[in-house]
Every structure is written in C-alpha cells, then in structure tokens.
Amino acid sequence: MGSASNVLFIVTLLLSWGWISSLHGQNDHQGKSLADMRVITYNVWYGFTKVPERKSIWLQWMQDQAPDVVSLQELNGYTPDRLQADAATWEHPYTALLKEDGFPTGITSRYPIEELKRFRDGFHHGAIRARIQGIYFYVIHLHPSNWQVRHHEIDALLKDMSGLKQDAKIILAGDFNTLSHADSAFYRHGRLEPFFAARDKAYAEHNLNAGKLDYQVTHKVSAAHLIDSEHYLRKADYRFTGTFPTQIEKEGEHGDQRRLDYIYISKNLKDKLTKAVIISDHTTQRLSDHLPVCVDLQLE
C-alpha cells in the first residue's frame, strides 16, 4: 500500500477513533461482564515490521478488547522485554516468548503463567504450552506450506496433551495454516486447489495432499475431543468469514478467503463457552494479513 494510502487510513482511524473505541468498548465490556475469561488469538504479520505505522492502532485495539489471555504468532523482531512492554498496554503483566529468531509465538496473560513449556525440536515455527487459571493453553503456528510437517507438529502436541490429567482443561489457539472440513462447503468453488497446485509447482511447496485439500490436521484435533469454538457457536444464518487473507495490501497472489486461525477447547469447557467470533471490521482488515479470533468463557 502506498504512503498516501497509509496516511489516509491512519488519519481516518484517528479522527473516528473516539467513536470507534467507544463503540467497541461498550460491546466488549458488556460482553466481558458475562465472561470470566476472554481469549484472543492473533497472527500479527511479521510483528508489524511491514506496517510499523499501524502498531499504535493495534495496541489501542487490543486494549479495547480487554482480553485475559492472548495467543500471538509472527512476533518477528520481538524480545521478551518488547513483548512485556506491548502487553502492558492491555494490562497484562505476565508474558512468555517462544524464541527471538524466525517467526516466534508468544502468550500474554492477566494472570500468572505457570508450567511453561516450549516446543522447538521437530517444529517449523514452534509452540508454547502454559497453565493459566487452571487451563492449559497451547499457542501454535503450524507449518505454512507443508501438510506432512503440519501432521507431525499436531501429532506431537496431541501426544503432549495425552500426558495431562484426564480431566485437564485445554485451549489450543493459533494459526493452524490448514483447513477444516467444517468449512468444506465454502471451498466447493474449486479455486483453492489450482491456487495451491501452482504454489506447489512454483515454490516446491506441499500444500495439497494427493492433489486435494487436506482437512486431516483439524480432524485429528476434533478426534482428540477438542471443540472448534467458532464453528460450535455458528447460527443458522451464518455467513462464512475466513481469517485469511485480509484487505491489507501485500505483494503476490494469496488465494480465496479461508479459515486458518482457530481456538479449540476441551469438552469440559464447552458449556462455559458464551462467544466465539472472527473479528472482521475496518480496523482488523487492515492491521494484519490474518483476522483475530476471540472467545469468551463463563467460568465458575
């Protein structure tokens, strides 16, 4: 996006920020009054290094959401101190960063982070496990272009989960870089297969499994008795919203809209779930190339 477009976008947001912030704050804080825990997962596209002028808008947006736990991907260029400084903006004193190289994941929390575990061996980007308020959070970012590696990564995470107590409460949140069979009806247009086939040929990627879209990673997660929160709360009049790509301008062809970002919850949290949405609005469509996902839980 050109500099003039950037300036226009920022000025428009700043001029209307009082109204937008007020509106979002009313909606979110009203919703928050019904929930003990709000969780957001967000892939922030190279840690805002591509659009540094929008970082302050994102920080304000995060503050307005009043989250309790945040799962972050693509914290490129971040250090633990930088993550801690950002998290302080939305009043989170507890943070953990997976690493400082490549595409780090991170977690921030209003509550103490316990039993922190980092996954790097055998992972392309890596993952974090943390226990917060009695819930095990897995912050993940699966391989962006190889379905086989994604299978190895999710198998390792599910194996780790199987070692927890049988009644453990679990939330798996992040950028899965893969599709869900729950959305397959929205991909029947047939445009994703040739898009991925072209990428596989041009860049030696492995997006297609035997020439077809791969749904097996999310199937494995569901088979492990974890619930796709956004899909679970869809209403009869649901209209498909993908989390990628957004309206942000970036080089290259990125294919049709698809859902890559998920928050899965264990069955013992199902009855606590009060909200699960992909947040798509004028702001989020232009902050990152992914949209955030938000869930509210009414805990005892």
Q: Is 239 left (phi over 0), alpha (psi -120 to 50) or beta?
A: beta
Mean pLDDT, range 205-228, rounded to an integer:
98
Mean pLDDT, range 271-290, rounded to an integer:
97
| pLDDT at 21 > cutoff 50 | no
| pLDDT at 19 > cutoff 60 | no
> What are the CA-CA distances from residue 221 to residues 12, 105, 117, 188 (Å)?
41, 20, 20, 23
| pLDDT at 179 > cutoff 90 | yes
Torsion angle of the four alpha carbons 47, 53, 55, 58, in this order, in degrees rounded to the nearest 10 = -120
pLDDT at 31: 46
Task: Give per-residue pLDDT as tens, 113-126.
Answer: 999 999 999 999 99
Mean pLDDT, range 143-159, rounded to an integer:
98
Domain ranges, residue 220: 3-297
Q: Is 122 left (phi over 0), alpha (psi -120 to 50) or beta?
A: left
pLDDT at 2: 53
Q: How confident is the model at residue 300 (pLDDT cuts 50, 70, 90)?
A: confident
What span, in angstroms and rounded, lies between the C-alpha atoms of 102 and 16?
Answer: 36
Q: How confident is the model at residue 224 (pLDDT cuts 50, 70, 90)?
A: very high
Whether the model clears a pTM of 0.85, i.e. scores above it, the answer is yes
Torsion angle of the four alpha carbons 252, 104, 135, 95, in this order, in degrees rounded to the nearest 10 = -120
pLDDT at 22: 32
Are the CB atoms for 107 and 128 separated by under 8 Å? yes
Q: How many domains does the chain have?
A: 1
Q: How confident is the model at residue 218 (pLDDT cuts 50, 70, 90)?
A: very high
> What are the CA-CA distances from residue 236 to residues 44, 156, 253, 293 (Å)?
31, 35, 32, 20
Task: Give per-residue pLDDT as tens, 78-100.
Answer: 999 999 999 999 999 999 999 99
Q: How confident is the model at residue 25 (pLDDT cuts 50, 70, 90)?
A: very low
Are the CB atoms for 107 and 69 separated by under 8 Å? yes
Question: In whole numbers, what is the pLDDT of the chain averaged over residues?
Answer: 91
CATH code, domain carrying 152: 3.60.10.10
Task: Give per-residue pLDDT as tens, 27-53.
Answer: 344 345 445 899 999 999 999 999 999
pLDDT at 172: 98
Mean pLDDT, range 146-163, rounded to an integer:
98
